[in-house]
Amino acid sequence: MARDLCRTIPKMRIKWWFDKPHMEIAIERLGWEKVPEDENADFYWHDKTYYADLFEHEPKLVGVNKIPGILELCTKARLSEILTTKKAINPNIFQFHPKTWILPQQYKQFTEETKQENKVLSDGELATYYIYKPSVGTHGNGIFLANGSVDIQTEDNNYIVQKYLDPPLLIEGYKFDLRFYVVIARVDPPEIYLCNEGLVRLCTTKYESPCDKNCDDIFMHLTNYKINVHNKSFQQTPSPSTGSKRTWKSVKETLRERGCDVETATRRIKELCVNTSLVLLDEVKQTQEINPYRTRWFHILGFDVILDSDMQPYLLEINSAPRLGVVHHNVPDLMGKRYILNVVDQQIKIPLIVDVLKLVTMGEKNVDMTSSCLERIFPINNEEDGANGSCELCHGILEQRLNVQ
């Protein structure tokens, strides 16, 4: 019955806050309705923070796009603590996590462990560079490079420090990173999907190994979109295979032409996403009380990955509230506001939002996954019960929706 019931997408009511052109586009494709703040909704779409009190009295809530506890686990320092612990137990499985120190707590340990690597070159400069990142921060704010230890003294925000990856894999001479969208569609039992398309974000100054003269060049060493978009060299093009923001599919073709082992790198990236997501869910289940039969909790995570020159992937960080907007910039006009959309963002993020909402509402067994941008990466077994449908609550509400249409 459930399979027949869910073949047609019912009209659902969804609520979000602030101006979100990407959500407007997505629900128009689904035929859903955005409801005012003072009305009940089937779905709540939060921004960065999860607010339980906004819907705790909703009688028939289908889904919420934030899993309680994930935000805190994805701060750089906390995530590093978790993965460092796991790597000590299973170094081969978690080799994607680079050696990391948390400052100021581990400053003495950091200086002692890196003393041997900090060799002095003939010009008096230290050979090894490290990258320092604030534990809580976005858009590249507060990140810097230094060839040695810096005594960070801060009370309100830890820093993490890692050996700077040199040389990274380059495209046309530019450093780049990858943004993959991982969807945790169910907490217990775990159900994890990967968007089959990802973002490639290029720096806007050609790469050189860090040295005293260029270590402060943020357009050379930091791949953050919010940084590079302000460089006059940033290229906004109508093609997904050119410019400063590209699709992973187009870049894979470029790398194949160069003889790179793209298939092995892709497999390793999937393993990275699965293992990290399962670790996060274990932590969530230990610290949060989540009733899967009341509400379908789901979460879109942004995994930022970098490849070294041997195509080995390393996890840079996880964004618990990845930017899903598709607007490159706003242009005021006589009508008030006109949006200039980014072609690559549109190709990736709108199908992602649409297919996630379909999946959570209807369950995988009732969705044509051959046309979906989502690929289930855990569990692998297609017969696994936990991955074969939406929760019982969803089916009850879907019946009501279809009966009144």
Parallel/antiparallel/unpaired status of strands 33-34 and 13-16: parallel
Average pLDDT over residues 20-38: 92
Average pLDDT over residues 151-163: 82
Which secondary structure element, helix H or strand E, spans residue 395, and what is its range?
A: helix 392-404
Mean pLDDT of the chain: 85
Sheet of 43-45, strands arranged across:
33-34, 13-16, 43-45, 63-64, 296-297
What's the pTM?
Answer: 0.89
| Cβ neighbours for 66, distance < 8 A, ≥ 6 positions apart | 46, 49, 50, 297, 299
The sign of the CA dihedral 298, 250, 215, 83 is positive
The answer to whether position 310 is within a domain reads yes
Q: Report pLDDT for 31.
A: 95
- CA nearest to 200, candidates 242, 233, 248: 248
Is-contact 290 70, C-beta < 8 A?
A: no
Q: Report pLDDT for 269.
A: 98
CA distances from 306 to 120, 140, 160, 166, 245 (A): 28, 15, 17, 11, 15
Amino acid at position 374, single letter: L
Three-state DSSP state, 236: coil
Q: Report pLDDT for 50.
A: 66
- CA nearest to 48, candidates 17, 14, 71, 73: 71
- DSSP character for 308? B
pLDDT in tens, 208-237: 999 999 999 999 999 999 999 999 999 988
- CA nearest to 397, candidates 40, 90, 100, 70: 40
The answer to whether position 92 is within a domain reads no
CA distances from 374 to 23, 130, 177, 300, 361 (A): 18, 36, 21, 12, 14
Average pLDDT over residues 289-305: 81
Instruction: Pick the range with the lowest mean pLDDT from 75-79, 110-114, 152-156, 369-373.
Output: 152-156
The answer to whether position 90 is within a domain reads no
Q: Report pLDDT for 381.
A: 65
pLDDT at 185 over 60: yes
β-sheet bridge partners, residue 193: 183, 376
Three-state DSSP state, 245: strand
Q: Report pLDDT for 292.
A: 55
Average pLDDT over residues 48-63: 67
Instruction: Pick the range with the lowest mean pLDDT from 60-64, 71-75, 326-330, 355-359.
Output: 326-330
β-sheet bridge partners, residue 303: 180, 318
Total number of domains in the chain? 1
The answer to whether position 225 is within a domain reads no
The answer to whether position 135 is within a domain reads no
The answer to whether position 307 is within a domain reads yes
Question: Structural domain of residue 389, as residue ranges?
Answer: 2-74+175-204+247-404
Q: Report pLDDT for 124.
A: 52
pLDDT at 125 over 70: no
Q: Report pLDDT for 342.
A: 85
Structure tokens at 20: 């979100």
The answer to whether position 383 is within a domain reads yes
| Cβ neighbours for 380, distance < 8 A, ≥ 6 positions apart | none
Three-state DSSP state, 257: helix
Average pLDDT over residues 155-167: 88
The answer to whether position 372 is within a domain reads yes
Three-state DSSP state, 111: helix
pLDDT in tens, 59-100: 567 888 999 899 999 999 999 999 999 999 999 999 999 999
Structure tokens at 186: 């169910």
pLDDT in tens, 376-399: 999 986 544 445 444 433 444 444
C-alpha span between 274 and 182 (Å, rounded): 9
pLDDT at 4 over 50: no
- CA nearest to 9, candidates 25, 32, 37: 32
Is-contact 132 100, C-beta < 8 A?
A: no
